[in-house]
Structure 1
Amino acid sequence: MAWQDTVAQTVTGLGFDLVDLERSAGGLLRVTIDLPWQPLVEGAPVLADQFVTVEDCETVTRQLQYLLEVEAVDYRRLEVGSPGIDRPLRTENDFLRFAGQVVDITLKAPIGATGTDVSANRKKFRGTLERAEDGQQWQIVWSDEPAPKPGQRVSKKRVPAPLQALTFQLSDLQQARLAPLVNFKGRSAADKD
């Protein structure tokens, strides 16, 4: 069994999901963990968002240090961390978990549809992740209209730009990540309820 599989089993055994395992030049071994997620079941209580803590990373680090010593894996530095606000999406479960969120995707090959505003050489898209109507594929929905600048007055009579959608399968993706959207103004009145 490869040491990567052993690391994955160890992380899973400690009650976490292995999001990413990266070995880079200079002997850095980076392990990214997250808390496991299960789809909501009817009648089950809704839990507040939980995040990986420093203590969680410390627990995994200590266990992996022992494991890597036993496996005789050559490394100089071990980093264990959470996936962050631009978390990569790789599995079907990741896409189910973050449906409705704004994501950035990069396709393996450029795509464009005749008769639409989607450029034929475009590979990168940012929009809201949704399940396609067929239930088998995914789609990303976006508008190319620029966001209004802070303090800019927007006419109520202005017609918004039409929404565009791109349907894809996970095999079409080179990369998918949560879009790192940060509000530096603090919580809005709607969030305080």
Structure 2
Amino acid sequence: MSKIVKRVEELVKPILEKYGFDLVDIEFKKEGKSYFLRVYIDKPGGITIDDCQLVSEELSNKLDIVDPIPFSYYLEVSSPGVDRPLVNEKDFIRNKGRLVDVFLKQPFMKTTKLTGELVEKREDSLIIMVDGESVSIPVENIKKVKLAIKF
């Protein structure tokens, strides 16, 4: 985790705790000529635009004071969206029983993407149900896990 992302996490966590929001992810990246600091937040029932604005204003004030980024950037605070990635333990617990897409680094069961019902996230593996069968995927082979979108 970059120093900037780690510092932003330290600054935003007390704000989120105050409102009962969860931190989903923080990204700091250059796109074209501009830098973007993106903070993704969530809460049971979902995040509203007003929630994002509240966190954005408070975080912006803290960032102005601490000034951990020595150049200009755009701050964006938003919901992770419907196909949000599952990142931390809370994400996996909250979404147990939901359909997930698991993207793999190396082929597993002859594929690099599995879709199934989230059963459990263990320290060394992720358990999902695929076509009624329990599948254990080694954590070191997982690139990303996202909620699946059903059409």
| TM-score scaled by length of structure 2 | 0.78
Letter matched to residue 141 of structure 1 = M
Pairwise CA distance, 1:51: 1.6
Structure 1 unmatched ranges of 5 or more: 36-48, 112-117, 144-162, 183-193
Which entry has the higher C-alpha Rg, 1 or 2?
1
Pairwise CA distance, 1:110: 2.6
Give 1:79-98 correspondences, 5 Å limit: 79-98=76-95
Runs of 4+ in 1 over 3 A off after TM superposition: 169-172
Query: Which of 12, 15, 19 does residue 10 from structure 1 map onto?
Result: 15
Pairwise CA distance, 1:131: 3.1
Structure 2 unmatched ranges of 5 or more: none
1:29 is the counterpart of 2:17: no
Identify the residue that residue 70 of structure 1 maps to in structure 2.
Answer: 65
1:127 is the counterpart of 2:116: yes
Pairwise CA distance, 1:22: 0.8
d(CA) in 2 for partners of 1:108, 1:27:
28
SS of residue in 2 equivalent to 1:31: strand
d(CA) in 2 for partners of 1:170, 1:92:
13
d(CA) in 2 for partners of 1:7, 1:181:
32
Higher helix share: 2
SS of residue in 1 equivalent to 2:96: coil
d(CA) in 2 for partners of 1:102, 1:18:
21
- 1:92 and 1:3, CA in 2 relative to 1: closer, same or farther beyond 3 A? closer
SS of residue in 2 equivalent to 1:56: helix
Higher strand share: 2
Kept in 1, the 8 Å contact 2:11–2:59? The answer is: no
- 1:10 and 1:75, CA in 2 relative to 1: closer, same or farther beyond 3 A? farther
Kept in 1, the 8 Å contact 2:37–2:75? The answer is: yes
Query: Which of 53, 62, 66 does residue 58 from structure 1 map onto?
Result: 53
Give CA deviations for 1:120-150 in whole Å, capped at 9, x if unaligned: xx22111111138x9x85322223xxxxxxx
| Count, aligned residues | 140
Letter matched to residue 126 of structure 2 = W
Identify the residue that residue 180 of structure 1 maps to in structure 2.
Answer: 149
Pairwise CA distance, 1:169: 4.7
- 1:11 and 1:165, CA in 2 relative to 1: closer, same or farther beyond 3 A? same
